[in-house]
Chains A and B, each alone.
Chain A
Amino acid sequence: MNFGMPLLILMIAYFIGTHLEKRHFQSILKREDEARGFPVVSFDTMPDNWTASRSDLVSGSVVISLDYFKRVIAGLRGLIGGRIKTYEPLLDRARREAVLRMIEDARSQGYDAVFNVRLETSRLANATRDGKGTAGVEMLAYGTAVKFASRFANAQ
């Protein structure tokens, strides 16, 4: 009786969470496929012989929450330590979604590539439990979008 309710929530959280995660990964794969070929690199400079006509800061940010199931399993994992395997897909989704949004930002403004890409993450505190709980994670991807003046001008 006492375990019934949490167990039910756990099961619902698992099924809905798994379904949403699967759908999100499908969407990520599809959009990554579309973005393929658009250069996104972590170099902080362009090759010497390349010239840019304009450039700007672009960013993509996403906030993802963890479901109850992941939280419980991570809590158990926290007792003994080790890889929190249920959080790995969560952060993987966040990273890839943030980068995709950054690419979409750059593309919508007509840029050709993004240089100097960086990823930042931060935990969003939950208002309950004196901010000790985690409401979710924010993943921020940002970089310098560049429009080439003469792309591959000197390349033969």
Chain B
Amino acid sequence: MRFVARQPKEGINVSDTHPLVEAGTLVVGLTAIFVIIAVVLIFMVEVVLYFVSAEDEAKLFDGWLPEDLVTVSYTDERLLETQALVDRLVLHWPDAPYEFRVEIDDSEQANAMALPGGLVIVTQGLLDEVESENELAFVLGHELGHFKNRDHVRALGRGVVLSIFFAAVTGNDVAGIGIKSADLTLRSFSRRQEAKADEFGLLVVNSEYGHVNEAWRLFERWDIKDDSFIDLVTYLSTHPDSGDRVANMKRHAEERGWQSDGEITPLSW
């Protein structure tokens, strides 16, 4: 018998799965797994929140200041007045479990943050932006609302837990991250959380001044200038549309029968 050399069959050492099918399966599958893990972790944060009371939190974070997140501007004289304003506003929340501390961040972007342990951060940009005490009082009241609903711990907890998870997945140093990468997720309050904080802010402002005049004027101005003010993009992108917010606040104030005109308290600066 004569030997006839034949070409071996193709594809023995190569899978016949199309590379795009392989890519699709992996991307979809892994995304699903990540989403499930993320949801479970967020749920665990809620469980922890249930067991850690606001009093414990205040004790735990006493004197805490995340220095890689906030660049404190100690020289700003507006600090004392802002602190005094917060202290006055807190009187309308009698059982507040926190001793609120105010710090001024030297960022030009108008923003305010609520951080664990009763730390209220306002940026210099915000203080430059507000035109009356009533406007500032509302923003502070809004942050107090986040404290009341404990959104601040929730957001921070989520941020930290998720960044640890992603660091573990990508093989980064887990100890090195934490608050820093939580920065972005910190701001991601839901619309519902923002609306509730707005309502609390209005309540506080109304109790303090007897009316809610100018409470939302900052947002009305932002709504008009939405396109022109790039600085505000960060604030607006993490908060609901200013126009919608103002409309919601007006409706809420009307329902409660709060007066929408009254004397405006000017700022000292």
Contacts and interface: CB of A to CB of B under 8 A. Distances in A.
Interface of A: 14, 18, 29, 32-33, 36-37, 69-70, 72-73, 76-77, 79-80, 83, 85-86, 88-89, 91-92, 95
Interface size class of B (residues with CB under 8 A): 10 to 19
B224 interface: no
B15 A85 contact: yes
A29 B7 CA distance: 9
Nearest to A80: B30
Contacts of B23: 69, 72-73, 76
Interface in B1-42: 5-7, 10, 13-15, 17, 19-20, 22-23, 26-27, 29-30
B13 A79 contact: no
Nearest to B22: A85
Ranked 3 nearest A-B pairs via Cβ: A85-B15, A76-B26, A37-B5
Contact of A76 (B6, B13, B30): B30
Nearest to B33: A80
A89 B19 CA distance: 10
29 contacts: A14-B19, A14-B20, A29-B7, A29-B10, A32-B7, A33-B7, A36-B6, A36-B7, A37-B5, A69-B19, A69-B23, A73-B19, A73-B26, A76-B23, A79-B30, A79-B169, A80-B26, A80-B29, A83-B15, A85-B15, A85-B17, A85-B19, A86-B19, A86-B22, A88-B13, A89-B14, A92-B13, A92-B14, A95-B13
Contacts of A32: 7
Nearest to A95: B13
Contacts of A76: 23, 26-27, 30
Interface of B: 5-7, 10, 13-15, 17, 19-20, 22-23, 26-27, 29-30, 169
Contacts of A95: 13
Contacts of B26: 73, 76-77, 80
A44 B130 CA distance: 88
Contacts of A36: 5-7
Contacts of B10: 29
Contacts of A83: 15
Contacts, number: 44
Contacts of B17: 85
B18 to A, nearest CB: 9
A72, A79, A83 — most chain B CB neighbours (10 Å): A79
Given A70-B19, A85-B22, A88-B15, 14 more contacts: A14-B20, A18-B19, A36-B7, A37-B5, A69-B19, A69-B23, A73-B22, A73-B26, A80-B29, A85-B15, A86-B19, A88-B13, A92-B13, A95-B13
Nearest to B26: A76
A33 B20 CA distance: 30
A14 B24 CA distance: 13
Nearest to B21: A85
A141 to B, nearest CB: 15
Contacts of A88: 13-15
Nearest to B20: A14
Contacts of A86: 19, 22
A37 B10 CA distance: 18
Nearest to A90: B14
Nearest to B27: A76
A76 B5 CA distance: 41
A85 B15 CA distance: 6
Nearest to A25: B10
Contacts of B5: 36-37
A5 B116 CA distance: 37
